Every structure is written in C-alpha cells, then in structure tokens.
C-alpha cells in the first residue's frame, strides 16, 4: 500500500468524541423549544379562557339593584322588601247550585257586612217548598182522620164495656174493640209523626231559600270582576273576592340572623315601588313566631301610620327599620335613587352598569351624582328596582347570557 493511500484511509477515521456533543446540543434546543411552546400555550389559554367561556357558556353572576334610599339612611338598622297583604279578606262562593238572577255589585264596589251581593233564581226552590207544604197538609189531614177514627172506636168500646158490666153481652166483643183502639192509636201517632217530618222539610226548604241571596260576610271592597247575571254556579266557582282595605299590612321577610334587631312597635319607613317618591311612616305590629326553614327568614308585619291613598294589595314595598322615629322635617326630604358602587364599572372611558333582562344583560351608561350610603346618587340611568350585576367581570359584555348565583 502506498503512502498516499495510507494517508487517505487515515483521513476517513471516525471521531467518536465529537458526535455525542453535537447530538446533546440538538436535544437541548428541542427541549427548550417544546417548553417555550407549552409556556406560550398556557399563557394564551389563561388569557383567552375567560373570554371563551363567556362566549359559549352562561356566566354566573351575583345580583344587586337600583334602590330608592331615604335621607334617613343614618338611622336605618336594616332594610327588607315585602308586599302589601290584607289581613282580612273573603272569597265568596255559593252554598247551593243555581243561576244568578241579579247582581248588586261591580268591581271596586264597597260593601258592608250583610249587604246583598247576588240573587239566585229561586223558581225551583219555591216549587220544592210548595210541594213540601202540600205533603205536610196531606199528612196533617191523614193524622186528623186517623184520630177521628180512633175516637169513634173508643166510644164503641165504652158502650160495649157497659153492656158487659150489666151482663147483657159477652166480653169478647169488648176485647176486640180494645185491641182495635190500640192499633188505631199507634197508626194515628205514626201519621202525626209523618206530619211533623213534613213540617220540618218545609222549614228546611224555607231556610234554604235564604241561601239563594248571597250577602257580604265582611266590610270590604270588591277587588275582582264578579260573575255575571245568567251564570250557573257550582261549588267550585268563586263569585268574587272581598278585601278589607283597613286591614292592609306590609309583610316583609327578614333574614334569620337579623331577627333579633326587630322589635314590636319599632319605627319604620316604607317606600312603595308604585310611589317611589313618597315616604310613609310605619311601625312594626307583629313578628312571626315561626321561621321559614326553607328560606331561613321570618315574617314581620308593618302597619302604615301615615295615610296612603292608592295602596293596593300585592304592591311591592321597601321597608327600612329605624333606630328612631322620623320627624316631620325628615319626612319631607325626598328619597334618592341610588346605584350600588359594586355594580359600576368602566367601559370605554364611561361609567356603565349591566342591567339584567331575563337571562341576558344589557350594558347601560349611567350619570352619577354625589356618593351616598354604599353607592352613588343616580342622575341618569335605570329606574328603581332594576336588577344589576354585582361586581361584573372584565369579560362581561352587552347581550351576554347569564345565570344568577
């Protein structure tokens, strides 16, 4: 082998120490690249996930609301919502089946206890009374005839006994007459009892005739549309509902944990949703002796002291329980429309709230006034009672579907 060939073969020698170093370097680069990609993916998911969830899933939210708050906020110990509930009411029904022949009232009529409300057709009932009277008269006549026949036999028996005593006749006929007299007495008594039964039937039907005039059981106001003339009644069809407006109280649910702060005769302030600008002084008249376990609340009944015309059953009311009664000056101060601070967020450089409409939210701009209580006076924005999202997330947007917690 020539020297040149030997040198060429030596140049083809594998350097085993260098290749592992190049392989290790490439693996390190690959690992670093994969880790970096994973890190970017995690960051991207962390940032994008809330927006993706908000886009395709209902967002769970807490709720608050726009409220009319009294200037007497400093004296308020507790606030609660409730409804106007009559304590005395009556659903009027019929005791008999019949057709209405006359209607004395209409929706909104005020009546006194005992005033007539409806008359039912009494034709059939009067016919039944007449038939019963005829049966009674017949029974009386039969009883009288039976008694007359009994007296006749008794006279015969008396004569027969005299003859038997004188020995003119045998006693057998006298014995027969005695037996017949006893039988006739029993028959007459039965007929007289039947006549009394017929008399009782006449009395019952006559008393029942009074059921064909329906009268008011209480003083009250008709709060629904009464049934009309010609309607055939049954025992399930209510004719109307009467409500004693003098018995109206506000029933508010108070959380169990706050029941200890409620005292009987304690002062209150009431604002009805129907009259948001009117403040009414009130007082606690009754605290429920039993709690609602399902809601963990107790019912408190509040009576309005100040006259409040236009108050109707089932009106919604906000009750503020005070630590001292309001004076005339405080009462004249108007209530303020307040939006809670927790409902206000910035969107595009403007203050907005998210109003709840069914299962969606609507972004609404608001114009705020001075701070008040736990929020701000609302100069321009949603009306009182509007439900708002509390502490809305940055991903919440107009028209998004939500679910209340």
The two three-digit tokens of residue 22, written as one number:
């190049």
Which pLDDT does position 316 carry in this prediction?
A: 94
SS3 of residue 169 by DSSP: coil
CATH class as words, domain 69-88+246-335 = mainly beta
**In degrees rounded to 5, what are phi and psi of residue 196?**
-65, -35
Specify the 3-state DSSP secondary structure of 180: helix
Tell me the percentage of the chain whose pLDDT exceeds 70: 83
**pLDDT single digits (tens) 240-268:** 999 999 999 999 999 998 888 898 999 99
Q: Is 5 helix (H, G, I), strand (E, B) or coil?
A: helix
pLDDT in tens, 327-372: 777 667 777 788 999 999 999 899 999 999 988 999 999 999 888 7
Cα–Cα distance between 336 and 276 in angstroms, integer?
9
Class of domain 57-66+337-404: mainly beta
Domain boundaries, the chain: 57-66+337-404, 69-88+246-335, 93-121+212-242, 123-209
Reading the block at residue 206, the tokens are: 């006559």
Distance of CA 2 to the CA centre of its chain: 115
Mean pLDDT on 181-190 = 88
The answer to whether the beta carbons of residues 49 and 299 sit under 8 Å apart is no
Mean pLDDT of the 53-58 span: 57
What beta strand segments (E) does 74-218 contain? 76-86, 89-92, 100-103, 110-111, 116-120, 213-215
Is residue 192 within 8 Å of residue 142, measured between CB atoms? no
| Fold assignment, 93-121+212-242 | OB fold (Dihydrolipoamide Acetyltransferase, E2P) (2.40.50)
Rounded CA separation 20/2 (Å): 34
Quick one: which of 136, 114, 120, 104 has its CA closest to 209?
120
Is the entire prediction scored with pTM above 0.85? Answer: no
Burial of 259 (0-12, 13-18, 19+ CB in 10 A): middle
Cα 271–273–278 angle (5° rounding)?
40
**Is there a contact between 68 and 335 (Cβ–Cβ < 8 Å)?**
yes
The C-alpha atoms of residue 41 and residue 138 are separated, in whole angstroms, by: 106
Percentage of the chain lying above the pLDDT 90 cut: 42
Low-confidence winner among 174-183, 223-232, 287-296 (lowest mean pLDDT): 174-183
């Amino acid at each position: 082998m020539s020297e040149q060939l030997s040198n060429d073969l030596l140049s083809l020698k594998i350097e085993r120490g260098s290749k592992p170093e190049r392989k290790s370097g490439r693996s390190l680069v690959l690992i670093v690249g994969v880790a970096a990609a994973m890190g970017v993916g995690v960051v991207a998911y962390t940032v994008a996930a809330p927006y993706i969830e908000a886009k395709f899933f209902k967002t769970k939210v807490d709720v608050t609301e726009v409220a009319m708050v009294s200037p007497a906020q400093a004296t308020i110990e507790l606030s609660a919502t409730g409804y106007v509930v009559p304590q005395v009411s009556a659903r009027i029904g019929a005791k008999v089946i019949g057709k209405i022949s006359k209607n004395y009232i209409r929706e909104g009529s005020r009546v006194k206890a005992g005033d007539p409300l409806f008359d039912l057709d009494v034709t059939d009932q009067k016919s039944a009374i007449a038939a019963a009277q005829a049966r009674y008269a017949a029974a009386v006549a039969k009883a009288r005839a039976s008694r007359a026949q009994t007296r006749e036999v008794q006279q015969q028996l008396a004569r027969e006994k005299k003859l038997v005593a004188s020995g003119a006749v045998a006693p057998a006929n006298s014995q027969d007459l005695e037996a017949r007299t006893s039988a006739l007495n029993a028959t007459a008594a039965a007929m007289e009892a039947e006549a009394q039964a017929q008399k009782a039937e006449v009395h019952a039907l006559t008393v029942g005739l009074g059921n064909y005039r329906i009268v008011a059981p209480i003083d009250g106001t008709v709060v629904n549309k009464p049934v009309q003339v010609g309607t055939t009644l049954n025992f399930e069809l209510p004719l109307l509902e009467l409500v004693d407006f003098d018995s109206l109280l506000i029933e508010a649910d108070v959380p169990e944990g706050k029941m200890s702060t409620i005292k009987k005769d304690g002062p209150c302030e009431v604002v009805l949703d129907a009259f948001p600008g009117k403040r009414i002084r009130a007082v606690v008249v009754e605290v429920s002796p039993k709690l609602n376990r399902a809601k963990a609340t107790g019912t408190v009944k509040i009576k309005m002291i100040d006259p409040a015309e236009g108050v109707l059953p089932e009106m919604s009311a906000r009750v503020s329980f005070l630590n001292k009664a309001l004076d005339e000056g405080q009462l004249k101060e108007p209530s303020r429309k307040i939006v809670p601070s927790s409902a206000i967020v910035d969107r595009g450089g403007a203050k907005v709230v998210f109003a709840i409409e069914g299962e969606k939210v609507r972004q609404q701009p608001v114009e705020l006034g001075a701070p008040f209580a736990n929020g701000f006076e609302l100069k321009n924005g949603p009306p009182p009672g509007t439900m708002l999202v509390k502490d809305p997330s940055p991903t919440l947007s107009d028209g998004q579907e939500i679910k209340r917690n």
